[in-house]
Amino acid sequence: MRTTHIQLRTLATALWLLGSASVWGQSRYVAGDIVDNFTLTDRATGNPVRLSDFTGSIVFLEWFAHWCPFCVAAAPQVDSGIVDHYRSQGGNPAGIPVVHIALNLQSDTQQRDRTATTTFVQRYGFDPVLQDTQRVLARRFADSGQPIFAIINGVTNSPNARPWELLYTLQNYGSTQSPIAQFRTAIDRVQAAPPSIPALRVASERSSTPGVLRIELDADAQANFGIEVSDDLLRWTPHSTLPKGTRTLNLSLGTGTESSRFIRLTPAP
């Protein structure tokens, strides 16, 4: 009877471990995974905040607890090395904005914790701060501990990173020497989509100057474009540059040539 009891308990334990390993193996994010569109509550407003709200940005997540010494060490370094750095640079090298989101792991049910967390948030200028006090989202990135960091690509048409791809994740801080270089490497590698080339058409208001063709674009140019002209659609000759923000322009083609010329835009180098 005793042997039977040990066998049953061992079997139950084995099944529990197997089930747990299966659940965690399927749900834990690793770099390269696509992060689900989670929803958490904004600590200040009580409003729901979704990952998809930050479409078009690189999202930097930082989980913290006010009493965690490594969170205290990490916060000012991330603030200066990531938040301030990319704000002053106007985004990463491709001009993609970087959004910092803090996630609070400590429950606010006790007044002392609520006050301490608010002091922590104000000290480091965290905004927004989302509530993950049950670690529902944090467990998708780490078993336990804090701080936890995750960098997610929110650019939906990047040529080298998929929408909502997890670019980098780190559990704990390890020391007061922050991995700012690794964070920046992950952020800086995301490329923006090449600007779309707007369609050209002859403006309804013709130019009164001989040899000058007035053209207009269907939208403001999102970047500088080269203007090329051709007589036969086979040989194209560089003509000039269309500046970013242009919507209409007068194009000098030479007297009597505007009816035989073709015009196209090409991405500027």
Residue 184 Cα to chain centre, angstroms: 13
**C-alpha separations of 24 from 21, 51, 114, 193 in Å:** 5, 22, 31, 35
**Closest to 75 (Cα-Cα) out of 30, 121, 136, 133:** 121
Give domain limits for the chain. 1-27, 31-188, 200-267
pLDDT tens sequence across 213-259: 888 888 888 788 888 888 888 889 888 888 888 888 888 876 554 44
The answer to whether 179 touches 186, Cβ cutoff 8 Å, is: no
Query: pLDDT higher for 241 or 124?
Result: 124
Q: What percent of the chain has pLDDT over 90?
A: 57
CATH number of 31-188: 3.40.30.10
Residue 38 class from Cβ within 10 Å (0-12 exposed, 13-18 middle, 19+ buried)? Answer: middle
| pLDDT at res. 254 | 67
Looking at residue 20, what is its pLDDT?
A: 43
Question: How far does CA 199 lie from the centroid of its chain?
Answer: 29
pLDDT at 26: 44
Tokens 């009816």 sit on residue? 259
Which has more pLDDT, 93 or 25? Answer: 93
Mean pLDDT confidence for 62-79: 95
Rounded CA-CA distance 134/137 in Å is 8
The whole-model pTM stands at: 0.72
CA–CA separation, 232 and 260 (whole Å): 8
As a whole number, mean pLDDT of residues 154-180 equals: 87
Give tens-digit pLDDT for 181-221. Answer: 999 999 999 999 887 777 877 776 766 777 788 888 888 88
Q: Classify domain 200-267 by CATH number.
A: 2.60.40
Reported as type and span, the H/E element at residue 170 is strand 166-171
Residue-wise pLDDT for 12-46, tens only, equals 444 444 444 433 444 899 999 999 999 999 999 99
For 197, other C-beta atoms within 10 Å of its C-beta total 16
For 75, the 3-state DSSP assignment is helix
Let me know if 8 is exposed, middle or buried by CB neighbors in 10 A (0-12, 13-18, 19+): exposed
